[in-house]
Amino acid sequence: MLPTSVSKGRSSSSASRTNPMFPQYLRRIIKWQQMDIEYTFWQMLHLCTSPKVVYQHTKYHKQTKNQWARDDPAFVVICSLLLSVATIAYCAAYDHSATHAIFVVISVLLFHFLITGAMLATFCWFLTNSYLREDSPNSHVVEQRVEWLYAFDVHCNSFFPMFVMLYVIHYFLSPLLMVHGFIPVLLSNLLFMAAASYYHYLNFLGYDVLPFLERTTFFLYPIGVCIVLSPILILSGFNPSRYFMNMYFSRRL
């Protein structure tokens, strides 16, 4: 019983050390001088080209900081700014009033990124800690759990390449994707399928790097759903570009 109690004591002390992490994280949002902007852009670039390298650095972060989650909010801040700029570009091209444009920017930032991200992170955090953790046979090993902030980091990492595809590339292709016809329907569905599939692939990489999780291939299953749904949507004539653009700019399309 003694090793178990020691393990629990270590686990609880470790938890008590990580409790202040989230308040410190929030306080650093308004302190630009404490953010590593250069490293953040390095991560964003490699998430689009070689994402495994980014998660290899996550292992180094765990070894040096003793936590999986970032302690630097620069990624969230910069991603929010880029998302706001992209949404403003859409509003400049398709919107009809400044008031509505402000509403679109706020709603996209909150619901497309932050609120949806918090919900997805909470779901993955609960799923991994409840069902995907390995049972350690050694009572001397300190119990490890997925940090909620790390789950949110994984969402942010997965979101950025999707942002590049569905907000940046889509913006330049929108004159073609918004017209009627089979080719726009085909291209629009392929773009959305690629973005959603890559999101879930990065989600998988984020949890597969954690050594205390098992059956992480579960996070690859949505890719199969995307691949199956895509030809069905194409044959039905559904154009996701027109659908989502009409949600915000219906009076101009």
- For residues 198 and 195, give the distance between their C-alpha atoms in angstroms, rounded to a whole number: 5
pTM of the entire predicted model: 0.87
Percent of the chain surpassing pLDDT 70: 84
User: CA 91: distance to chain centroid?
Assistant: 24
Report residue 136 as tokens. 């350690």
Q: Is 98 within 8 Å of 60 (Cβ atoms)? A: no
Q: What angle do CA 187, 190, 192 make, to 5 degrees?
A: 110
Pick from 2, 17, 1, 15: which is nearest to 143 by CA? 15
pLDDT tier at 33 (50, 70, 90 boundaries)?
confident
The set of residues, in sequence order, having a beta carbon less than 8 Å from that of 121 and lying 6+ positions away, is 148, 151, 152, 154, 155
Mean of the per-residue pLDDT values of the chain: 87
Per residue in 107-147, pLDDT tens? 999 999 999 999 999 999 999 999 999 876 665 567 789 99
Dist. CA 245–CA 174, nearest whole Å? 9
Residue 141: what pLDDT? 62
For CA atoms 95, 101, 103, 109, the dihedral sign is positive
The CA-to-CA distance between both ends of the chain, in Å, stands at 69
CA distance 218 to 216: 5
What confidence tier does 20 reach under pLDDT thresholds 50, 70, 90? low
Q: Which of 192, 247, 184, 178 is nearest to 225 (CA)?
A: 192
